[in-house]
Amino acid sequence: MNTELIVASMSGAVALVSVAYSSQANRKNSLLRDDLERQTAERHRMLERQDAMGRYRDPLLWAAFDFHSRLCNIAAQGFLRVHFVQPRDQLYATRSTLHVLAEYLGWVEILRRRIYFLDLSNQDANRHIVTLLARVGTILNDDAYPDRNFQLFRSDQRAIGELVIEEGADDAGCLGYAEFCARLESDPRFAAWFVHLSDSVTELASLEGRNSRLVDLQAALMDLNDFLDPEQERFPQKSRLRLKRS
């Protein structure tokens, strides 16, 4: 074999080895790049999840606490019977009760939308909060209770939540009490969603004993509060009364 042929053969072999090495290196670099992109995307999702929960935890906590407190006042302290003596007080008792329920449903709907967008259900803690929210919704929806007071079907729960959401320039929030009352007075389509709940408040004011649905709702909301505020930084233990059925 002449020298030129040997050199050509060696050059070809070197070229093949170089191509194979380059191809292998490119595959490794591609895999490393894909892995880095996945890690970066996962860190980004994690930060978004943390930001979402940090942003919406307190508003949801306050809404759940206000709703729980009103249920305690109705079931254990005769709030409605006391306030239904005078027409003006009756109007306040009805509207403020509707508002705390609607505000809670509004924040649940806001969080629900962020959960869908951010895929929060992949995390254990977020699966648990979804379970707690679902429990409250189930009690509101359940038709196994002796009466229909405060029964609210699931789709109606979402509809009321949607109605009270206000989309701001930076983020979403819920109607304040003044605007909520104004909408009840000026918007018949808005007010129509609250007719059954308003009738429920009126009927509960005339009933003796504790309504079982309200007691179960209060317990479920208290579980949600305990989860959102485990160190009792916002609400101390003395404000965490748990009702029992009488």
**pLDDT level of residue 119 (50, 70, 90 thresholds):** very low
Q: How far apart are CA 69 and CA 137, in angstroms?
A: 18
Nearest-angstrom CA–CA distance, 161 and 25: 55
| 191 pLDDT higher than 80 | yes
Average pLDDT over residues 98-116: 89
Residue 111: what pLDDT? Answer: 86
Tokens 């009126």 belong to 202
- Backbone dihedral region of 177: left (phi > 0), alpha (psi from -120 to 50 degrees) or beta? alpha
Tell me the per-residue pLDDT of 135-189, one tens digit each, with 9 for 90 and over. Answer: 999 999 999 999 999 999 999 999 999 999 998 756 789 999 999 999 999 999 9
pLDDT at position 121, please?
44
In this prediction, what percent of the chain has a pLDDT beyond 70? 74
Q: Span 88-104, mean pLDDT?
A: 96
- Residues facing residue 167 across a β-bridge: 172
Q: How far is CA 140 from CA 23, 133, 144, 197, 211, in A?
A: 62, 11, 11, 11, 13
Q: What is the pLDDT of residue 35?
A: 66
The per-residue pLDDT of the chain, averaged, comes to 82
Give the start-to-end residue ranges of the domains of the chain: 56-239
More confident residue, 155 or 45: 155
- Given a cut of 60, is residue 122 above it in pLDDT? no
Q: Could you report the per-residue pLDDT of 11-37, keeping only the tens digit for each? A: 666 566 666 666 676 777 777 776 676
Q: Which pLDDT band, with edges at 50, 70 and 90, does 118 fall under?
A: very low
CA distance 92 to 89: 5
Cβ atoms of 52 and 59 closer than 8 Å? no
Cβ of 127: how many Cβ atoms within 10 Å?
11
Q: Which residue has the higher pLDDT, 241 or 2?
A: 241
- Is a pLDDT exceeding 60 seen at residue 50? no
User: Range with the lowest mean pLDDT among 87-91, 101-105, 207-211?
Assistant: 207-211
Q: Which residue has the higher pLDDT, 2 or 98?
A: 98
Mean pLDDT, rounded, for 85-107? 95
Q: What is the pLDDT of residue 117?
A: 45
203-228 pLDDT, tens digit each: 999 988 889 999 999 999 999 998 88
Amino acid at 169: A
CA distance 182 to 161: 17
Instruction: Tell the residue number behind the tokens 């003006």, with chain if given.
Output: 88
